[in-house]
Amino acid sequence: MSIQIGDRIPSVKLKHLTAEGMEEVSTDDLFAGKKVVMFGLPGAYTPTCSAKHMPGFIDKLDALKDKGVDAVLCLSVNDPFVMKAWGEDQGASGKVDLLPDGNAELTKAMGLDFDGSGAGLGTRSKRFAMVVEDGVVKHVAVEDAPGGMEVSSAEKVLEAL
């Protein structure tokens, strides 16, 4: 079952790449005392993710901040090196925080994983967006299809805030 409104974000430790090298980050720390928008996508450098999903959140960052959002996180089942490079290519640095979930630990704990093996992708994240306040999910929207952008766009999140 997928994560629902009122659920807490699972406590997971992930690795991410910083200027100082590889660092561990805890979801407990990422969400504690903050209003966070987190969106997930099937993969860095994939068509819809690169052309629509990430750019939408970058473009709407100021509007999200105006609604009280402290941080915007992008979760994907990719390694930290790919996420860092993709974030730089997308112009997300300093705007959207890239959260690599290389082993799909957080994605699976939230019940938002799918099997992309048929397309050679392995385990991936469903496309979703959520609003989380102090670790508790206040809004969650999950797309029916990996390429869909009906409910998880930045515009839809703004409507939900």
74 is catalytic: no
Ranges of beta strands (E only) in the chain are: 13-18, 21-26, 35-41, 71-76, 97-100, 113-115, 123-125, 128-133, 136-142
How far is residue 111's CA from residue 5's CA, in Å, rounded to a whole number?
13
Of residues 36, 49, 83, 99, which has the active-site annotation?
A: 49
How many Cα atoms occupy the beta-carbon half-sphere of 115 within 13 Å?
2
- Beta carbons of 86 and 78 less than 8 angstroms apart: yes
DSSP 11: -
How far is residue 117's CA from residue 104's CA, in Å, rounded to a whole number?
14
How far is residue 43's CA from residue 146's CA, in Å, rounded to a whole number?
10
Give Cα 69 distance to the centre of its chain.
Answer: 14
- Active-site residues, by number, are 49
